[in-house]
């Protein structure tokens, strides 16, 4: 049994592209708010971006996520679907309990971390730069700089904090979504019969639950990845958490949560609708060819 089917890869990649298009402006605001030394509001952060870079400034550093997030989402969905198939085969059951569905999501998060870490690192290095700073000028240049100056460890700066975030994140994400979808299948007599508005609601809820469950871990990861590699301010994950708390209290772990929750609603609605509908189309097309 292959880790990822062709359908999962195609549907996941397209879902990832839609996630970036709808979520990138919110993600940029989140990163800016998380890494600024002084707490700022959404409106002031958005105004600053617009004044410095115009409308296109909200899509700064998009090349990396546009290519990378599409790969990440295909891995997330592909690994999740693979784990579900394996568990169904092992249990000889067509329906898995919600805790098992969540565990499949946790497996997907672990697999995803190794790709997400360098992709998000490049995006954060670009987005966290102060106005007028040109150390990092693009995704490819940033990757080359990190590798040439710091080797493979530079490319994977923040990997441990990414794994720490991804496993519980996708445990929650797919646990919520798959649990809701499984319940809806009973009502609508098939996954392909579930109406779009329900998929939208389930996707939005899954995205919001993901961020609510791990947001402090995301703040820590963003701080570690925006840090310099030599003469680092943060010596470890626990040291980073301690410094954030010492400087800003518990509120410091939730800076940037408002744009993140907005992103969770819009981006994940688009992600799940795209994945479900593309997958259904590809399966129907394959069935038609067989006949």
Q: What whole-number distance in Å separates Cα of residue 123 and Cα of residue 129? A: 10
Listed range (44-48, 219-223, 244-248, 255-259) with the worst mean pLDDT: 44-48
CA–CA distance from 183 to each of 32, 79, 97, 213, 246 (Å)? 38, 22, 11, 22, 44
Over the stretch 173-227, which tens digit does the pLDDT of each residue have? 999 999 999 999 989 988 989 999 999 999 999 999 999 999 999 999 999 999 9
Question: Chain-centre distance of CA 177, in angstroms?
Answer: 15
| Rounded mean pLDDT, 136-148 | 88
Q: The pTM is what? A: 0.84
Over the stretch 45-79, which tens digit does the pLDDT of each residue have? 778 777 777 766 676 666 666 777 888 899 999 99
Q: Which tokens belong to 178?
A: 């798959």
Burial of 105 (0-12, 13-18, 19+ CB in 10 A): buried
**Is residue 1 predicted with pLDDT exceeding 60?**
no
Task: Tell me the domain boundaries of the chain.
Answer: 6-281
Q: What whole-number distance in Å separates Cα of residue 158 and Cα of residue 153? A: 9
DSSP, collapsed to helix, strand or coil, labels residue 156 as: coil
| Rounded mean pLDDT, 74-92 | 92
CATH annotation of 6-281: 1.50.40.10
Helix residue ranges, H only, the chain:
6-35, 42-53, 63-91, 98-127, 139-155, 159-188, 196-226, 237-248, 257-290
Report which of 62, 65, 86, 68 is spatially closest to residue 2, judged by C-alpha positions.
Answer: 86
pLDDT of residue 223: 93
pLDDT of residue 132: 62
- Report whether 26 contacts 259 (CB < 8 A): yes
The residue among 37 and 66 whose pLDDT is bigger is 66
pLDDT of residue 50: 73
């Amino acid at each position: 049994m292959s880790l990822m089917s062709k359908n999962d890869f195609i549907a996941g990649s397209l879902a990832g592209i839609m996630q970036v298009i709808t979520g990138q402006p919110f993600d940029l605001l989140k990163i800016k708010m998380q890494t600024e030394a002084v707490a700022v509001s959404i409106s002031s952060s958005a105004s600053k971006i617009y004044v410095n870079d115009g409308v296109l400034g909200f899509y700064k550093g998009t090349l990396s996520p546009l290519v990378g997030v599409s790969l990440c989402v295909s891995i997330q969905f592909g690994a999740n679907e693979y784990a579900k198939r394996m568990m169904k085969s092992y249990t000889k059951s067509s329906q898995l309990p919600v805790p098992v569905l969540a565990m499949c999501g946790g497996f997907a998060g672990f697999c995803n971390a190794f790709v997400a870490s360098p992709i998000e690192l490049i995006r954060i290095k670009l987005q966290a730069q102060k106005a007028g700073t040109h150390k990092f000028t693009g995704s490819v240049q940033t990757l080359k700089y990190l590798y040439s100056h710091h080797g493979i460890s530079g490319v994977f700066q923040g990997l441990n904090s990414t794994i720490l975030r991804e496993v519980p994140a996708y445990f929650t994400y797919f646990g919520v979504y798959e649990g809701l979808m499984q319940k809806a299948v009973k009502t609508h007599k098939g996954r392909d019969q579930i109406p779009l508005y329900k998929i939208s609601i389930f996707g939005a809820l899954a995205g919001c639950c993901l961020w609510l469950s791990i947001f402090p871990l995301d703040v820590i990861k963003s701080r570690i990845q925006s840090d310099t590699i030599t003469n680092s301010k943060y010596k470890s994950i626990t040291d980073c958490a301690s410094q954030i708390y010492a400087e800003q209290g518990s509120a410091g772990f939730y800076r940037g949560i408002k744009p993140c929750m907005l992103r969770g609603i819009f981006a994940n609605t688009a992600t799940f609708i795209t994945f479900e509908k593309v997958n259904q189309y590809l399966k129907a097309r394959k069935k038609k060819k067989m006949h």
